[in-house]
Structure 1
């Protein structure tokens, strides 16, 4: 049995493949996306019919693809892993 799903919106902002997304129940309107463009984007979901989400911040600092990103349970920090052989801890409150 194949179940039909409906696309509700598309978030556009990266210039490379999106490699990972992260969410937290603490902040249901926030999504982080990691990409091969070496950045992480913090999105604010709007659920607007014309624009489902707005990029709030671009976290830059990795020198190669960002392959992983997670958000702390309190939504205050993000941890990213990159092909540049580094992990970066990001303060999302500043």
Structure 2
């Protein structure tokens, strides 16, 4: 089988900060108010909201200081964990 090298591609990237999210993933925090599928007094449980970005593959949760948000050549966005990003990408002088 022939060997191939991936062409270098220049992308934009920034360490994730609040305000860069496209939405939130929400997970209910259940308490003693939960009774089956109904809630006392019509109160829904509090939710834990986690920032998320929309990618070509779907929604991904991201964390401040833990992920870089990479913007690809066609404008697509995807998260890369900080350690992996710093090992596999290098800054390009403009």
Range into which the TM-score falls when normalised by the shorter chain: under 0.3
After TM superposition, the score normalised by the length of structure 2 is: 0.26
Query: Which structure's residues are more often strand, by fraction?
Result: 1
Structure with larger Rg: 2
Q: Which has the higher contact order (CA 8 A, sep 6+)?
A: 2
Query: Which structure's residues are more often helix, by fraction?
Result: 2
